[in-house]
Structure 1
Amino acid sequence: MKRALLAADESIARDEMPPPWPGRGVRIDGSITHVRETPATRSDAEPALYVHGLGGSAQNWTDLAGLLADRLDGHAIDLPGFGLSDPARRYTIPAFADRVIRYLEHADRGPVHLFGNSLGGAVSVRVAGLRPDLVRTLTLVSPAMPFLDPRRSLQGRVLPLLAVPRAELFASRWLTQLPPEEMAQQVMEACVADTARICDQRRVEAVEEIRIRYTAAHYPRAYLGTLRGLVGSFVRAYLPGAGSLWRIASLITAPTLVIGGGQDRLVDVRVPAQVARLIPDSRLLLLAGVGHVPQMEVPRTVARAALALLDETSPLPTTVPR
Structure 2
Amino acid sequence: MTTLDHWGGTSRYADLDGPVHYVDFGGDGPPVVLVHGLGGSHLNWCLLAPHLVERHRVLAVDLAGFGLTHPEGRSTTVPSNARLLDRFVAEVVGEPVALVGNSMGGMISVLHAARRPAGVTHLALLDPAVPLLGARLDPQVAAAFALYSLPGAGRWLLERSRRGVSPRRQVKRVLNLVCANSKVVPEEVVLASMNLIEQREEIPGLDEAFLAAARSVVRASAAGRRYYAAMSRVKAPVYLAHGDRDRLVPVKAAEAAARRNPSWEFEVFEGVGHVPQLEIPEVIAERLLALTAR
Is TM-score (shorter-chain normalized) higher than 0.5? yes
Identify which range, 299-308 or 99-108, moves more after superposition. 99-108
Q: Does the residue aligned with 1:142 lie in a helix, a strand or coil?
A: strand
User: How many residues are paired up?
Assistant: 287
Of the candidates 233, 238, 241, which is equivalent to residue 256 of structure 1? 238
| 1:156-175 mapped onto 2 (5 Å cutoff) | 156-167=142-153, 169-175=155-161
Check if 1:56 corresponds to 2:43: no
Aligned to 1:133: 118
CA 1:277–1:182 in structure 2 vs 1: closer, same or farther (change >3 Å)?
Answer: same
Unpaired segments of 5 or more residues in structure 1? Answer: 1-16, 239-243, 314-322
Structure 1 residue 181: Cα displacement: 1.0
Q: Does the residue aligned with 1:265 lie in a helix, a strand or coil?
A: coil
CA 1:217–1:63 in structure 2 vs 1: closer, same or farther (change >3 Å)?
Answer: same
Assess if the C-alpha contact under 8 Å between 1:25 and 1:35 holds in 2: yes
Aligned to 2:178: 191
Q: How far does the alpha carbon of each residue in 1:148-192 deviate from its partner, in whole angstroms, 9 at most, with x for none? A: 558514431212323433346414522421211111111000011
Look up the equivalent residue of 2:219 and give its one-letter code. Answer: G
CA 1:280–1:205 in structure 2 vs 1: closer, same or farther (change >3 Å)?
Answer: same
Assess if the C-alpha contact under 8 Å between 1:258 and 1:275 holds in 2: no
Check if 1:112 corresponds to 2:88: no
Q: Distance in 2 between matches of 1:113 and 1:304?
A: 15
Aligned to 1:4: none
Aligned to 2:268: 286
Q: Distance in 1 between matches of 2:79 and 2:278?
A: 26
Q: Does the residue aligned with 1:202 lie in a helix, a strand or coil?
A: helix
Q: Distance in 2 between matches of 1:20 and 1:194?
A: 26
Assess if the C-alpha contact under 8 Å between 1:50 and 1:75 holds in 2: yes
Identify which range, 271-280 or 134-143, moves more after superposition. 271-280
Q: Distance in 1 between matches of 2:266 and 2:224?
A: 22
Aligned to 2:7: 19
Q: How far does the alpha carbon of each residue in 1:200-223 deviate from its partner, in whole angstroms, 9 at most, with x for none? A: 111111222222233322211111
| 1:43-82 mapped onto 2 (5 Å cutoff) | 45-82=29-66
Q: Distance in 1 between matches of 2:112 and 2:211?
A: 23
Of the candidates 270, 274, 291, which is equivalent to residue 256 of structure 2? 274
Structure 1 residue 235: Cα displacement: 2.1
The TM-score, its normalising length taken from structure 2, stands at: 0.91
RMSD between aligned residues: 1.9
Q: Distance in 1 between matches of 2:117 and 2:110?
A: 10
Identify which range, 272-281 or 218-227, moves more after superposition. 272-281
Percentage of pairs with the same residue: 31
Unpaired segments of 5 or more residues in structure 2? Answer: none
Check if 1:146 corresponds to 2:131: yes
Structure 1 residue 22: Cα displacement: 1.2
CA 1:20–1:184 in structure 2 vs 1: closer, same or farther (change >3 Å)?
Answer: farther
Look up the equivalent residue of 2:97 and give its one-letter code. Answer: V
CA 1:263–1:233 in structure 2 vs 1: closer, same or farther (change >3 Å)?
Answer: same
Q: Distance in 1 between matches of 2:148 and 2:182?
A: 30
Check if 1:295 corresponds to 2:271: no
The TM-score, its normalising length taken from structure 1, stands at: 0.84
Assess if the C-alpha contact under 8 Å between 1:114 and 1:139 holds in 2: yes
Assess if the C-alpha contact under 8 Å between 2:148 and 2:155 holds in 1: no
Q: Does the residue aligned with 2:128 lie in a helix, a strand or coil?
A: coil
